[in-house]
Amino acid sequence: MTSPQNVGLGELIISRHPEDILVAYGLGSCLGIGMFDPVARVAGLLHAVLPESSNGDGSSSKYVTSGIKNLIEGMVKAGANQSRLVTRMAGGANMLVCVSLSQAFEIGSRNINAAHRTLQQFNLRLAAEEVGGNVGRTVKLYVVTGKLTVRMVGGIEHEL
């Protein structure tokens, strides 16, 4: 792999290559969930779109619940130890400006709640999160250090 690696909608990428930067662009209601094992030097980034499947498809990384499971399994397969995973999360904005529609869907809030529940099921705690609001974000996960940065639309990139 080469740097940077675009993590598209419903995708996840796991890397051990120190030059890689995993990037999820334009997270609105989507969540970017980054994991890093500082001993094994394995990093992974999930770009989840919806909280959970409504049709029983519990295997797609498109969903927060199954995506987190897939990310953990992939990280372990690549040599990470689940108990050492440093997990950070960004996104989950409620992007609809119409109040009645925003309250009806609240996809960002539902994604955040699904992530908290799922991480708790796997006994993982968040080291940091920047979620909610109504502005999109881009996240970058640097494989060499495990550093995760966030940049809000119109803002300055900062470490989470």
Catalytic residue among 7, 21, 30, 80: 30
Adjacent-strand bridge partners of 152: 137
Active-site residue, 98 included? no
**Spatial contact of 139 and 12, defined as CB atoms under 8 Å apart:** no
Q: Give whole-number Cα distances, 112 to 19, 31, 73, 93, 149, in Å.
A: 30, 8, 21, 9, 18
Q: Which amino acid is at 61?
A: S
Give the CA distances from residue 137 to residues 83, 150, 154, in Å, rounded to whole numbers and listed in that order.
Answer: 28, 7, 9
Q: Which residue has the tokens 């199954």?
A: 66
CB within 8 A of 134, min separation 6: which ones? 93, 94, 95, 97
Catalogue the active-site residues: 30
